[in-house]
Chains A and B, each alone.
Chain A
Amino acid sequence: EVQLLESGGGLLQPGGSLRLSCRASGFTFSDYAMSWVRQAPGKGLEWASTIGNSGVDTYYADSVKGRFTISRDNSKNTLFLQMNSLRAEDTALYYCARSTLVSGRGYFHHWGQGTLVSVSS
């Protein structure tokens, strides 16, 4: 059974930094691209970042580019999101998601339960 367990969320002030983690189990982690998707309170889903299975290829939404860094440790089955220069608008539940490739494109097949990040002065 695929399991994704996020951690690292918390309450912090604008300008602060935080590192989220997502521990994966139930599949061969190094075979799959992984992503972070966030959801502000009462709002819809917003893709934040994706990393390829080897860690070489990374992609970011404009809203987080230059402030967030996605990475992974395939030896530890863990995905990370380093979040710097945090803003109030980064307040959200952050989900870790595993992609499944179909016809050369990956869709979000499995989701974790999320970790909450709150940015407020």
Chain B
Amino acid sequence: DIQMTQSPSSLSASVGDRVTITCRASQGISNYVAWFQQKPGKAPKSLIYAASSLQSGVPTKFSGSGSGTDFTLTISSLQPEDFATYYCQQYESYPLTFGGGTKVEIK
């Protein structure tokens, strides 16, 4: 099974900050990584697929990068609506696996 190690598990940041979340796969997975945002009491929302492709309708302040085993999600300028939990997920092979999540909180 492919393990997805996401870090940090939580972070505190201020409005306007640049935030980077990382995800490391236990083996190479090309670019088969997606990123999701989840707000309390809501379903996850797709942000990024294929490691760096922005989902339609998602603001360009979100960006993804990486290939192989190391991936990042960056929020260029954090806004109040961005405080949420973020998950990475690999879809290269079954079983499909998620990272443990990163909770982004207000400093």
Contacts and interface: CB of A to CB of B under 8 A. Distances in A.
A45 B92 CA distance: 17
A46 B100 CA distance: 9
Interface string B24-46: 00000000101010100011111
A35 B50 CA distance: 18
A110 B97 CA distance: 17
B96 A50 contact: yes
A62 B1 CA distance: 10
A114 B98 contact: no
Contacts of B53: 102
Interface residues of B, number: 25
Contacts, number: 63
Contacts of A107: 32, 34, 46, 49-50, 89, 91
Instruction: Place the interface of chain A in its size category.
Output: 20 to 34
Given A100-B49, A102-B50, A108-B36, A61 B44 contact: no
A46 to B, nearest CB: 7
B87 interface: yes
Contacts of A47: 89, 95-98
Interface of A: 35, 37, 44-47, 50, 59, 61-62, 95, 100, 102-103, 105-114
Interface of B: 32, 34, 36, 38, 42-46, 49-50, 53, 55, 87, 89, 91-92, 94-101
